[in-house]
Structure 1
Amino acid sequence: MTSPLYPPKPRPGDRVAVLSPAAGLPEIFPRPFDLGLRRLTEEFGLLPVEYPTTRRMGCTPQERAADLHAAFADPTVRAVVASIGGDDQITVLPHLDADLIRANPKPFFGYSDNTNLLAYLRELGIVGFHGGSVMVQLGRPGALHPVTADSLRAALFTPGPYELTEPVEFNDIERDWQDPAGLDTPPGMQPAPGWTWHRPDRVVEGPSWGGNLEILGWLMMADRAVAAPETYRGGVLFLETSEELPSADEVFRTLRNMGERGLLAQFPALLMGRAKAWSFGAPNGPEQREAYRTAQREAVLRVLAVYAPDTMAVFDVDLGHTDPQVVIPYGGTVRVDGPARRITVTY
């Protein structure tokens, strides 16, 4: 694989596109969206630009693709940031103009359903950024978490290596966006167990691939934005699960199928995101949440034992649906130093 292309970074004062390529949820929940836009301007110094589908639910895949094309083609727009995720961005991919996007590379920020577009950009040789949505991270109640803010700022503006640190606190309980007071105070946090290392006997450095596990399963079923297994040889796999709380059995089966495809064995290192274990549909208590995370970790280890027994793994990295969230360069360089217990990404 050729060296990945890091698109030029924006500078304070630049225009950035804010799009909804997954779902137009800003139409339904304008308050966290507007809060995120205000912070993008006031705390990061960027000028958000909205498009026809940004605040509109039910837009067709063709309409969302057209907004992506407009944003990438506009020379005055220096980055693209997703409002939030969704569940059908996979239907947008066939309508994208690969030549247009390849000719106008820009940093794209998003996660969850935006794994679709991140994987697509990686296949074009363009580094994207897994994390940093407007409504969730920028629209966090009370204030941005300092860990999130520092990582996002570095990913936006500063090229070069950035060392991830183990957070001392985390949260996975959401606020009700319909509650007028829901955005006024920061969420309650709980002590964060440190990273858990498995086979930390080597140093692995390579381009990353992965994202949301459920979305990767859909991409593989549709045979989109997933290259031949050997394409990923020597890279770093990173995975996380969503607020839909897939069971340990589902996680096991998806990873097993990736193993059968020959994917897992290509990655000598895996970063596994801290599992979100609470949702409005499953408001689990502390013991239930801990049991859920433990079961997921054990499921991942069972799969690795069969399909990638020599792979080094790090669990409970805050790279997904929990708070705080660190940004991972998608297709960019990640270094996992087992003996030193250090993780460094290149923004």
Structure 2
Amino acid sequence: MEFIDLSKLKPGDKVAILSPSSDAASYFPWVLDRAIDRLKGSFNLIPVEYPSTRKKKPSPKERAEDLMRAFSDKEIKAIFTTIGGSDQVRILPYLDKEVIKNNPKLFMGYSDNTNLSQFLWNIGIPSYYGGALMVQFAMQGSKILQQTEESLRWALFDGGVHAIKRSDEFTDIELEWSDKSNLDKTRSFEKNDGWYWDGTGTVSGKLWGGCIESLLQYLSAGNEVLIPEGKNIVLFLETAENIPEPWVIETIFNSLGVLGILERTVAVLVGRPKAWEFNKRLSSRARIAYREKQRNTIIGLVREYNSSIPIIQNMDFGHTDPQIIVPFGNKAMIDSASKTIKFTY
């Protein structure tokens, strides 16, 4: 299974701003406005919005039509998503594989955008997991977090092979979008424990995975997953803001096992689970316990299929910040002896 090499962006390039999942931008336009300002000012890109970008409750077909317009437009060099959601799987039947395959573009998004990244993977187009406009670009106080911006620049402009670093501190506590003054506030951060590393070996493979809840939805809808023969997958997974119970984790690993994906996996990377949400305001102690329980659950499930492959957890991708952008479909290299991880952007 061959993947194309996507062209990197240049200052002054036009980029599509789309909402293929949630319509949150229609209710909190000032948050998207902040992100647009940073795309222009910090990255020197020209944002292009579409009819459904800020529309309340656009249909799946409307969202898919705008996505197809963006892919078909030769002037558009990349596609940025405003936010995730919960029903992106509904737009997939309206997409034209051949048009997208013949007009590949850099695609940026995470969470529910797992569905589109899986769609692109199946036709040999890599994507970039992370960087929601209304979160990583907008809701970080006076500027985008340094580690996040560095990773964004690797994905968008620089390319190359880069060593992934552990953040010194992180946050999974949000600020209300409804209060416009929160755009200028910095969220509370706490010390990062670093990576939890289990297993041995020096391995490499293509990055495949995404948000567990969205991946379950993708699979339950009967969508195919094309995995090349051989042991060559670096599986990356993370959970969304709904703070799922262990059975959800068990379900995805059981499914991946039955599909034969775990047999072809050479390493597992796990993003730090978000353990706080407005409707689940867990205490510090409860959040620590939740993360530990998830780590232990994942180790137990993976070890049923492989007793020694590297499992690295508490990584800086997914629904906590700062955020490492994961080059979905590109190469990852893991060295257990030196405890280093490198991604090819």
TM bracket (short chain): over 0.9
- Equivalence for 1:247: 245
Paired with 1:57 and 1:275, the residues of 2 have a C-alpha distance of 30
Q: How does 1:174-323 map to 2 (within 5 A)?
A: 174-199=174-199, 201-227=200-226, 231=229, 233-323=231-321
**Aligned match of 1:49:** 48
- Structure 1, unaligned runs of 5 or more: none
1:285 CA drift (Å): 1.0
Are residues 248 and 170 of structure 1, via their aligned partners in 2, closer, same or farther at CA, if it must alter by over 3 Å? same
CA gap of 1:231–1:35, structure 2 versus 1, over 3 A, is: farther
Q: How does 1:64-143 map to 2 (within 5 A)?
A: 64-142=63-141, 143=143
Q: In the aligned structure 2, how far is the partner of 1:232 from the partner of 1:133? A: 33
Q: TM-score, with normalisation over the residues of structure 1?
A: 0.96
Deviations 1:128-187 (A, max 9, x none): 000111101001231211000110011100121121101000000010111232111111
Give the 3-state SS of the residue equivalent to 2:270 in structure 1: strand
Distance 1:212 1:226 in 2: 15
Q: Is the 8 A contact 1:268 1:310 kept in 2?
A: no
CA distance in 2, matches of 1:20, 1:115: 14
Q: Which amino acid aligns with 1:124?
A: I
**Contact 1:141/1:182 (<8 A) preserved:** no
The SS at the match of 2:334 is strand
Mean Cα displacement is larger for which, 297-306 or 255-264? Answer: 255-264
Q: TM-score, normalised by structure 2?
A: 0.97
Bigger shift: residues 8-17 or 255-264 = 255-264
CA distance in 2, matches of 1:309, 1:279: 34
Partner residue, 1:62: 61
Change (3 A) 1:267 1:22: same
1:281 is paired with a residue whose SS is coil
| Superposed displacement of residue 332, structure 1 | 0.9
Q: Is contact 2:204–2:266 with CA below 8 Å preserved after alignment? A: no
Native 8 Å contact 2:167 2:194 kept in 1: yes
Aligned sequence identity (%): 39
Q: 1:45-70: per-residue Cα shift (whole Å, max 9, x none)?
A: 11110000000121111111111111
Moved over 6 A (4+): none
Partner of 1:16: 15
Rounded to whole Å, the distance in 2 between the matches of 1:225 and 1:86 is 21
> 1:332 maps to what in 2?
330
1:31 positional shift: 1.7
Aligned to 2:158: 158
Q: Deviations over 1:87-113 (max 9, x none)?
A: 111011111000000000000000000
Contact 1:167–1:194 (CA<8 Å) still a contact in 2?
Answer: yes
In 1, Cα distance between the equivalents of 2:277 and 2:65?
Answer: 33
Secondary structure (helix, strand or coil) at the match of 2:183 reads: coil
- The one-character-per-residue Cα deviations of 1:307-334 (angstroms, maximum 9, x if unpaired) are 2323211001111000001101111111
Query: Take 1:141 and 1:194, find their aligned partners in 2: how far apart are those partners?
Result: 21
Return the offset for 1:306. 1.0
Q: Distance in 2 between matches of 1:342 and 1:222?
A: 36
Q: Structure 1 residue 232: deviation in Å?
A: 6.9
CA contact (8 A) 2:216 2:252 kept: yes
Count of residue pairs the alignment pairs up:
344
> 1:20–1:303: structure 2 CA closer, same or farther, 3 Å change rule?
same
**Contact 2:201-2:309 within 8 A present in 1 as well:** no
| Aligned partner letter, 1:224 | N
Task: Specify the code of the residue in structure 2 equivalent to 1:205.
Answer: S
Checking the alignment, whether the CA contact within 8 Å between 1:18 and 1:54 is kept in structure 2 is yes
Question: 2: CA distance between counterparts of 1:15 and 1:293?
Answer: 40
Q: Distance in 2 between matches of 1:64 and 1:322?
A: 27
